[in-house]
Structure 1
Amino acid sequence: MPVNCASFYTTFAVPQRKLTVVVLNILKVRGMGSERLGSSSSISVSSTFRQKKDKKELGLMESIDDSRKSIAKEDTVESHEGIQTLRGDSNRLEAMTVQELRTMMRSVGLPAKGIKRDLVSALKHFLANKKDGQSSVAVEEDSSSVMEPIHPRNTQSKRKAESSSTGNNSENLNISEASGAQPKKNRGTPPGSEITSLEINSRTVVTKQKLLVKTDKNPSQVKRKVSSGKDGGTAKGVGLAVNSNEPWTVLAHKKPQHGWVPYNPRTMRPPPVADDTKSMKLMSWNVNGLRALMKLEGFSALQLAQRENFDVLCLQETKLQEKDVEDIKQRLIDGYDNSFWTCSVSKLGYSGTAIISRIKPLSVKYGLGIQDHDSEGRLVTVEFDAFYLISGYVPNSGDGLRRLSYRVKEWDPSLSNYMKDLEKSKPVILTGDLNCAHQEIDIYDPAGNRRSAGFTAEERESFEVNFLSRGFVDTFRQQHPGVVGYTYWGYRHGGRVGNKGWRLDYFIVSESLADKVHDSYILPDVNGSDHCPIGLILKL
């Protein structure tokens, strides 16, 4: 995943004066050539004369090539010196035209899209980081927080209308049975394969891997190509690909405020917790269809587990039926021997949540204990020594906001009261897809989504009243108050490519735990779903 930015010593366009000289020389050569061809049809010219003339023209062309190289070299130096003079001179940046700004951004490897205000902001951020010995695009490798991106499927999905099907293609994430899983019946047909085929840079690399679920199909029947992304990439490890684009490192917002910066996990995550400090690492991911993700060759949950070394993984929108759970639990990687799953019974293949842990919890509970809320498999709660952990998938208000009233008047208050009841005995952590972009900083286009599910005034107020005002803390926003970081991008308009997203996934904790949070982070480089994973490291 690491991106090697275009070299800082790249060239601008050839200056007009020098370009004119080159063009005149080229026209002169073409003119000489056409004269020679014209005269040969009417005048007999000796071969000796032609050879001499051709040698002269060849010499002239070589001279032009040398001239071009010289101009490019000079302009490289000029562009480098020019951008250095802009550091600290915001007035010059503001005075530049959009075309000049885009040319300069391309010369240093920055995406050159957006209105003038966005371009100026991105350049200022780049220059500021360059001054500190960093770059907003090319930065140092941090093995503890970076994963090679995995390319998402080219399937269409509605904006969180809860109808598309993607899933968790864990190469090996073992989750064996522990106490308290919900009843399971018939087994479904397990998809998957032991051989995958990745097409990278116009060549196919066949890699052998053990997928999450075994299959009876012939491996040749399940070979399929996985797009290597717009900018291509190279295979690195099993089931992972390096993408040459990190759109989340450039500020993407239609109405950015002064001081906002894009979230970059390479530079904004703190150092790992010391070995002698007791801690717990939690992760959460809306997989948008677990079985579909398991079929995706480009994803390796084993490498995700090895890279992040999480203790607990919470899943939302698994879209499993009860008959599928036992089959999946028997085919996951070693070490995570406690798993708890709840599935929708009112609408099959819909919603669904889970908690997977290598630490055995003290107790497990499914749902809120309210019949009207518990038929869609939206909550799993486990109790550990120091806190309760809830994996939640909050109902989407839906197309036409048909469930908005239910969401803000029934579900949110009931969940809030449930959390406060748990808090009477120990602190509470709520994680998952809460289906609300709380503030304007949490959504790319706030003005265009005032009446969209997930950003209505009613949902945002409910989020504030039922959670934040009752003593729960949004850990990411507490750690990164002016940082634009998204966790959801719709497939329909290619949201990931331009980082036009929403922050819908959270870790919300009791106030008594807030000062124990070491890191609350986002992993935007992990594809495979329309959401990306989020994480929380807690010092105990």
Structure 2
Amino acid sequence: METGMCLSSSSKSASGRRKDKKLKSSVDYGEQSEMGISKMDIAGTVKESIEIEEIRSNPAKLDSLTVKDLRRLTRSVGISSSGSKQDLISSLKYFSCKGETTIYDSMHMPQGLHACTNVPENNKTRNKRRKHVVENSVSTCDLKTAMEHKESSVEIEEVVETKQSRSHKQTSSRIQVIKFTDQEALLSYGQEPWTVLAHKKPQKEWIPYNPTTMRPPPPCLGTKSMKLLSWNVNGLRALLKLESFSSLQLAKKEDFDVLCLQETKLQEKDVDSIKRNLIDGYDNSFWTCSVSKLGYSGTAVISRIKPISVKYGLGILDHDTEGRIVTVEFDSFYLISAYVPNSGDGLRRLSYRVNQWDPSLGDYMKELEKSKPVILTGDLNCAHEEIDIFNPAGNRRSAGFTDEERESFQKNFLARGFVDTFRKQHPGVVAYSYWGYRHGGRRTNKGWRLDYFLVSETMAEEVHDSYILPDIMGSDHCPVGLILKV
């Protein structure tokens, strides 16, 4: 019997009345389910809303709550409930600081109601009704698109099968092909793939990175700090041409003091034009370009703070023709924007990388450190540990994860007193900053962590936050950031 069909009161028997009562009960339940709200839900919602408001006025109250209560509250406001007690407290403090409201309307909506239109009540069979629901769930799905790559199109086939009808006719299927070219990639509504643990061989204690819940609140008012951002843009001119990207929006959202760029792929003749069009307030910019191979490599530093001095390269001719290093000096530290050479196809540059480049860069950093602490940021082209790459076993001889590169990273940087700030802050967190264009790596979060902030050990405790911004599109890398108390 179809839900919603009217029954004549004059024709009801005792059994009919019982059936009608059951039908009414099922209809009432269905309406309640579709609304997603019950008296218990409302009571719980009110209680949790009151608790959130109390926390906003007195954040210290969080410390007295049990882990169970903290998890309940995080779930109630729609943020991750995983992690230690301190992680949960930090997440809720961050949420309350933002002044957001809870999202019960979304959380209590039954699965499928976001996507499906209402089903007509006059369908002849349940199979037709079921088929209508399935088809509408695809045709009305609200898809959020975002730029994932610039060079190749992405084709995604979604196959939706309807169950066999009562007459045992052959099962029908419906295929929907959605093509996204240039500045687009497919992300399901509400999906944040980086918040799902994606790793071929995860350890028990590992958890996925969620920048919304794992970042600490901003520094207290009156605390002097600098916000540094670093991004391998994989071609600056191509990025700036994207309709989906706005440098002004990025600057407003992140409010960075210094932006370091890698792989700008600019030629020297392009730099003046770029500098003339910089966002107001960022009047200090320093660029280095490859002269041995045009339209290749290239690094830059863009700053609203005028540096004391600027240096290009390492001061070694063999290393300085590809535009890989810009160093700026501020009052309390040196900042190096670096694009470390990739070992290349067939590992043809592996020997140069680990035997010449890395030792020279390490020596350069230690020399600078004699006068001030040093920060090295950029695409360092090495996933240091197994936690830093989705498929460790399958990439043992891939550039960026060879034993030689990882040992060199340890020997020339970490063992010499430079601290990986993200890993120090998030020791068991799986997070990536690079996803290959092939096979939809970003959509499935099958990535590598190649972008870093390494700091002198003497300033490691001055780091307020080291983070990754996986939601920023426009390149095969995403930006990484550092907030430093100065």
The TM-score normalised by the length of structure 2 is: 0.68
Name the CA distance, whole Å, in 1 between partners of 2:412 and 2:399. 18
AA of the residue aligned to 2:301:
I
Is the 8 Å Cα contact of residues 208 and 429 (structure 2) preserved in structure 1? yes
Q: Is the 8 A contact 1:379 1:392 kept in 2?
A: yes
Query: For residue 356 of structure 1, what is the aligned residue in structure 2?
Result: 302
Could you tell me which residue of structure 2 aligns to residue 100 of structure 1?
none
Distance change >3 Å, CA 128–CA 480, structure 1 → 2: farther
Q: Aligned residue pairs: how many? A: 367
Name the residue aligned to 1:281: 227
Partner of 1:44: none
1:387 to 2:333 alignment: yes
Secondary structure of 1:407's aligned partner:
helix
The residue matched to 1:313 in structure 2 has which SS?
strand
Matched, 1:152 2:155: no
CA contact (8 A) 1:150 1:525 kept: no
Range with greater deviation from structure 2 (128-137 or 446-455) = 128-137
Q: 1:67 to 1:453 in 2, by over 3 A?
A: same
- The reply to whether residue 472 of structure 1 matches residue 413 of structure 2 is no
Cα separation, partners in 2 of 1:129 and 1:443, compared to 1, 3 Å? farther
Following superposition, the deviation at residue 524 of structure 1 comes to: 0.8
Contact 1:150 1:298 in 2 (8 A): no
- Cα shift at 1:283: 0.6
**Offset at residue 395 of structure 1 (A):** 0.3
C-alpha spacing 1:301/1:61, structure 2 compared with 1 (3 Å): farther
Deviation at 1:322, TM superposition (A): 0.5
Partner of 1:230: 187
Output the amino acid matched with 1:441.
I
Code of the aligned partner of 1:275: L
Q: CA deviation at 1:479?
A: 0.7
- Aligned-CA RMSD value: 3.6
Q: Is the 8 A contact 1:143 1:307 kept in 2?
A: no
Alignment of structure 1 residues 164-179 onto 2, 5 Å: none
Q: Does 1:502 align with 2:455?
A: no
What residue number does 2:431 align with? Answer: 485
SS in 2 for 1:389: strand
Q: Is contact 2:419-2:457 (8 Å) kept?
A: yes
- Cα distance in 1 for partners of 2:314, 2:188 equals 46
Aligned 8 A contact 1:476 1:507 in 2: yes
Match of 1:332 in 2: 278
Q: What amino acid maps onto 1:231 in structure 2?
A: S
Instruction: Report the CA distance between 1:67 and its aligned residue.
Output: 4.0
Aligned partner of 1:452 in structure 2 is: 398
| 1:149-203: CA deviation from partner (whole Å, max 9, x where unpaired) | 982244348xxxxxxxxxxxxxxxxxxxxxxxxxxxxxxxxxxxxxxxxxxxxxx
Residues 146 and 187 in structure 2, CA contact (< 8 A), matched pair in contact too: no
For each residue in 1:270-298, what CA deviation from the matched residue of structure 2 results, as whole angstroms up to 9, or x when unmatched?
11112211111111000011001101111
Residue of structure 1 in register with 2:261 after alignment: 315
1:123 maps to none
Aligned-pair identity (%)? 68
Secondary structure class of the residue paired with 1:133: helix
Provide the rounded CA distance (Å) in 2 between the counterparts of 1:427 and 1:150: 42
Sort the Cα spacing of 1:154 and 1:437 in 2 relative to 1 into closer, same or farther, 3 A.
closer
- Note if contact 2:472-2:478 (Cα within 8 Å) is conserved in structure 1: yes
Partner of 1:369: 315
Q: Distance in 2 between matches of 1:226 and 1:65?
A: 51
Task: Tell me: CA distance 1:491–1:225, structure 2 relative to 1, closer, same or farther (3 Å).
Answer: closer
Q: Is 1:520 matched with 2:477?
A: no
Q: Residue 74 of structure 1: CA displacement? A: 7.8
Given that 2:186 and 2:443 are in contact with CA atoms closer than 8 Å, whether structure 1 keeps it comes out as: no
Partner of 1:133: 74
* Larger displacement relative to structure 2 (486-495 or 426-435): 486-495
Give the partner amino acid of 1:431. T
Q: What SS does structure 2 have at the residue aligned with 1:460?
A: helix
Q: 289-298 or 246-255: which moved more? A: 246-255
SS of structure 1 residue aligned to 2:343: coil
Relative to structure 1, is the Cα distance of residues 137 and 366 closer, same or farther in structure 2, using a 3 angstrom cutoff? same
- One-letter code aligned to 1:307: K
For residues 471 and 447 of structure 1, what CA distance do their matches in structure 2 show? 29
CA–CA separation in structure 2 for the residues paired with 1:329 and 1:467: 33
CA contact (8 A) 2:150 2:182 kept: no
Q: Is the 8 A contact 1:151 1:527 kept in 2?
A: yes
Structure with larger RCO (C-alpha < 8 A, sep 6+): 1
Measure how far apart 1:131 and its partner are: 3.5
TM-score, length-scaled by structure 1: 0.62
Shift of 1:61: 12
The 1:482–1:257 alpha-carbon spacing in structure 2 relative to 1, beyond 3 Å, is: same
1:531 match: 477
CA contact (8 A) 1:353 1:393 kept: yes
Contact 1:150 1:527 in 2 (8 A): no
Query: Unaligned 5+ residue runs, structure 2?
Result: 6-10, 12-18, 42-66, 82-90, 101-143, 153-180
Deviation string 1:196-249 (CA, Å, 9 cap, x unpaired) is xxxxxxxxxxxxxxxxxxxxxxxxxxxx995474325xxxxxxxxxxx211111
| Residues 353 and 380 in structure 1, CA contact (< 8 A), matched pair in contact too | yes
Query: What is the CA-CA distance between 1:133 and the residue it aligns to?
Result: 2.7
